[in-house]
Structure 1
Amino acid sequence: MEFAGYIFDLDGTLADTMPAHFLAWRQTAEKHKLELSEDRFYSLGGVPSERIFAMLAEEQGVVIDPLACAHEKEDAFIELLSEVEPIEPVIEVLRANHGKVPMAVATGAMKWVMDRIIDQLELRHYFQAFVSSEDTTRHKPFPDVFLEAARRLNVAPEKCCVYEDAQLGIEAGQAAGMHVVDVRNLHTPRRITAGA
């Protein structure tokens, strides 16, 4: 099938960041007396950190500043960034389509974190557009991030192919009317918790 544009999620799709993200989450959550299992962490893929902290605090009856905690978690993640590697089967798709069709990153990550990961892995030259959590009001599973990426690429949504690793992101891509490739069929992230 020929596509006029490709859109890629970042964490767990282009970059094998999920183990490092979970370690940063666990460290920050424990500090603030919050619990977050690895299974729950993966189920919330694509949801901005601030929203997750607010959700956990409400569920667990803990008073925190969700935005401050989100920044703290991202700082902890950046400390682990040197361990992050690209996900080769997805990078091969980038290489195969580079210079042929426009491509974008569409992520629930904050822009500064997205920029650090993209630059660490030297991927910036592949893309014509970048959409981060600050660029839309609604986040995955809403289709907004992917629709904004398609708009910036000047490609009709139905002519776009999305690469995504999280269920909420897959639902967002489908809601946008795009063809979706589930990266979990190409790559299995390393789990931190034994037996998880």
Structure 2
Amino acid sequence: MKAFIFDLNGTMVNDMPYHAKAWTNIINGELGGSFSDDEIKQNMYGKNAEVLVRMFGEGRFSAEEMDRISEGKEEQYRREFISELKLLPGLAEFLERAYQAGILMAIGSAAIPSNIDFVLDNLNIRHYFKAIVSAHDVTRSKPDPESFTKPAALLGVKPEDCIVFEDVPKGAEAAANAGMKAVILTTTHPVEDFINMDNILHFAADFNDDYIKALV
């Protein structure tokens, strides 16, 4: 393969429980919702404004209100997660081996830029990635393929020459829509949540998995 494209949350760092906790505090605590943990987990993908519309419907919040709510949620997430911030097991070694092998790498994430910076700069791994595509860089969220086709274009590689690393069904679907194969990290969803997706190469708990190691 010529390129690896990584989702961030749940794929490079196991932080989805912290996002879920922050969303629960905001949605049920501050905004008066009464949603179950499972309802929130199933809907907290894509841009934050899309999550709010998904949960509360169109027109409930103005754009300015959604921006304020979103920033409060992300500040809470970063404050809670900073002490636990670390790469998934085996990822540091995998990134270094791929880098030394000359494999191009990029990030294609629905995270906002400040959250991507939070991970890359605190863990000192920015130099591995030749392209970074955030929620602010796309017009449509996953499962639209833009989050993956755009970093591939920035790297100058064809979709069929990329492997996507993801952790959620919508991300795997976005990879399929981009014409890319995917490796799934099972940090967030069980294997059965990916039924009937024929672009998935492998499922792994982390990057110490023998299949993933053999990709470089």
Question: Same fold per TM (> 0.5)?
Answer: yes
State the partner residue of 2:123: 121
Alignment match, 1:32: 31
Distance 1:40 1:84 in 2: 26
Question: What runs of 5+ residues in structure 1 fail to find an aligned partner?
Answer: 189-196
Separation in 2 of the partners of 1:174 and 1:55? 23
Distance 1:56 1:130, change over 3 A: same
Cα 1:35–1:114 shift into 2, 3 Å: farther
Which of 178, 181, 184 in structure 2 is aligned with 1:182?
A: 184
Q: Which amino acid aligns with 1:165?
A: D
Task: Note the C-alpha offset of 1:23.
Answer: 1.5
Q: In the comparison of the two structures, how many residue pairs are matched?
A: 185
CA drift at 1:110: 0.7
**1:40-76 CA distance string (max 9 Å, x none):** 34334541112101221218x9657322211110111
CA distance, structure 2, for counterparts of residue 90 and residue 45 of structure 1: 25
- Describe how 1:13-28 pairs up with structure 2 within 5 A: 13-28=11-26
Identity level (%): 30
**How far apart, in 1, do the equivalents of 2:69 and 2:112 lie?**
13
Match of 2:190 in 1: none
Contact 1:51/1:66, CA 8 A, preserved across alignment = no
Instruction: Report the residue type matching 1:159 in the other structure.
Output: D
Bigger RCO (CA 8 Å, 6+ sep): 1
- CA distance in 2 between partners of 1:62 and 1:136 (Å): 24
Q: Establish whether residue 75 from structure 1 lines up as the match of residue 75 from structure 2.
A: yes
CA deviations on 1:7-64 (whole Å, 9 max, x unpaired) are: 00000000111121112111111211124433334334541112101221218x9657
Cα separation, 2, equivalents of 1:181 and 1:155: 18
Please state how far the C-alpha of 1:85 moved relative to its aligned partner: 2.1
The two structures, once aligned, show a CA RMSD in angstroms of: 2.0
Q: What SS does structure 2 have at the residue aligned with 1:163?
A: strand
Query: Secondary structure of the equivalent of 1:12?
Result: coil
Q: Which residue of 2 aligns with 1:191?
A: none
